Chains A and B, each alone.
Chain A
Amino acid sequence: NAGVMQNPRHLVRRRGQEARLRCSPMKGHSHVYWYRQLPEEGLKFMVYLQKENIIDESGMPKERFSAEFPKEGPSILRIQQVVRGDSAAYFCASSPNMDGSSYEQYFGPGTRLTVT
């Protein structure tokens, strides 16, 4: 049973470019969460999605960031016009989350974004 998959594992972008981070949840999980870990900090919640729906985006920066989880395919976190401050590790987690509560969230290996 494959775990949560994220790709790429490392991504280098120049300032102003776009970054696309992909996340495939564990089999049978229909809930996806994105977190950001800045250097020397803990993880900060960004967004929670179910298939074709954004449920909670309270942690997403208002501009340049967007997320989707289409009916088919992986969840995508998109960062437009990246800046150096976007350099961080971005983790995706999935859970079965049957009742809206915090179930075990299984994390992917993360994508380390470096903006030069």
Chain B
Amino acid sequence: AQKVTQAQTEISVVEKEDVTLDCVYETRDTTYYLFWYKQPPSGELVFLIRRNSFDEQNEISGRYSWNFQKSTSSFNFTITASQVVDSAVYFCALGFYNQGGKLIFGQGTELSVKP
């Protein structure tokens, strides 16, 4: 089965708190890709990151960081010192090699950052 699970439906934090969004995936493929997208209240989807299954290095981009753990099939996303503008729905997605590029999305985690 190919599946992405984002167990946290909603998270609410106060500004400047750190927050981690969990993502667990299932696939039998040995080559695959993991993505995070942000969907702000305006509704568009903003690409955040793409990782391939061979690269388990953690990545940091400003206040954003990603922790890829192949052993636990997880690709978690941490926002440090959250801001109100981070309020959005965040989607984790799984993609494949040589399957035409379609993505399988998780259900999304709605993050609310309160001032």
User: Contact: B107 with A41, CB < 8 Å?
Assistant: yes
User: Contact: A102 with B97, CB < 8 Å?
Assistant: yes
User: Contact: A101 with B108, CB < 8 Å?
Assistant: no
Residue of B nearest to A102 (CB): B95
User: Contact: B101 with A33, CB < 8 Å?
Assistant: yes
What CA separation (Å) do A109 and B98 show in the bound complex? 27
Interface size classification for chain A: 20 to 34
User: Contact: B97 with A101, CB < 8 Å?
Assistant: yes
- Enumerate B76-115 residues with CB–CB distance to A below 8 Å: 91, 93, 95-108
Given contacts A95-B101, A107-B45, A109-B44, contact A42 B106 (CB under 8 A): yes
Decide if A105 is an interface residue (CB 8 Å cutoff): yes
Decide if B41 is an interface residue (CB 8 Å cutoff): no
Question: A: which residues have CB within 8 A of B?
Answer: 31, 33, 35, 41-45, 48, 55-56, 59, 89, 91, 93, 95, 97, 99-110, 112
